Amino acid sequence: MHTLLITGASQGIGLETARLCLAAGYRVINLSRHEVPDAGIEHHNIDLSQADSESQLRELLAARLPAGKITLVHNAARLDNDTAAATPTANFREVMAVNLVAPHMLNQLVIPLMQPGSSIIYIGSTLSEKAVPNTYSYVVSKHAIIGMMRATCQDLAGQQIHTTCICPGFTDTQMLRTHVGDDQAVLAHIASLSTFGRLVEPQEVARTIKFAAENPVLNGAVIHANLGQVET
């Protein structure tokens, strides 16, 4: 059986990806701080920002994840309203712990269990290759995610395991709404920045993730799933 191991599938893109893969016959395991609403998804509560999360992950995966065909999706992320000049170092470290260190930890533990046909999908962002104000730590981490994906691709050469980075555009998720204060005027402006004049739906990104996971020809690719951004 093909197993999906995903982080942050309690809502948004992660939840829709978990649902899609579950419907396709995958075994789905979620790692996050919050419960998932679907009974068919195997949920394990863990805070990936905590110092003891690596030992928790090692124990959990040893018990619950046998070697096999595995798709690992690095979806969990933290998005703060912060700036280059006014972000406490402690806060910056906390964001990096979730957005970068957690994917690294999972790679170390899961890659040895992966058999040919497995995949590692990194979730980047439209902000992986550009920036907007007041998202300093998130932008830094999402730029780094592309580098992590490309380095993973090269290090796994010859193992028949592929990796891709999906960079969603502005997607209609609770994370985005919280970031902008659920301001409808701001959301409408953000929606206008795509050539379709709307926000991306989480289900659209989920389908893109599943396609990338099942098609090794995309190894090392950065895919922008953003409805086409308006060039200004």
Report d(CA 167, CA 181) in Å as an integer: 23
Tell me if 30 is assigned to some domain: yes
Tell me if 184 is assigned to some domain: no
List the chain pLDDT tens, one digit each, 232 residues: 899 999 999 999 999 999 999 999 999 999 999 999 898 999 999 999 998 999 999 999 999 999 999 999 999 999 999 999 999 999 999 999 999 999 999 999 999 999 999 999 999 999 999 999 999 999 999 999 999 999 999 999 999 999 999 999 888 888 778 877 777 888 888 888 899 999 999 999 999 999 999 999 999 999 999 999 887 6
Q: How far is CA 97 from CA 12, 56, 122, 137, 171, in A?
A: 21, 15, 15, 11, 23
Give pLDDT, residue 188.
87
42 neighbors 29 (Cβ within 8 angstroms): yes
148 neighbors 122 (Cβ within 8 angstroms): yes
Tell me if 123 is assigned to some domain: yes
Q: What tokens appear for 213 in the block?
A: 């996971």
| Number of structural domains in the chain | 1
Task: For residue 56, give its domain range.
Answer: 3-170+201-225
Tell me if 20 is assigned to some domain: yes
The CA dihedral of 48, 96, 177, 230, to the nearest 10 degrees, is -140
Tell me if 127 is assigned to some domain: yes
Tell me if 182 is assigned to some domain: no
Tell me if 42 is assigned to some domain: yes
Cα-based angle 191, 194, 198 (whole degrees, multiple of 5): 40
1 neighbors 27 (Cβ within 8 angstroms): yes
Tell me if 193 is assigned to some domain: no
Q: What tokens appear for 184 in the block?
A: 């409808």
- Tell me how far the alpha carbon of residue 110 is from its chain's centroid: 16
> Any idea what the CATH number is for the domain that residue 21 is in?
3.40.50.720
Among left, alpha and beta (phi > 0; psi -120 to 50; other), residue 153 is alpha
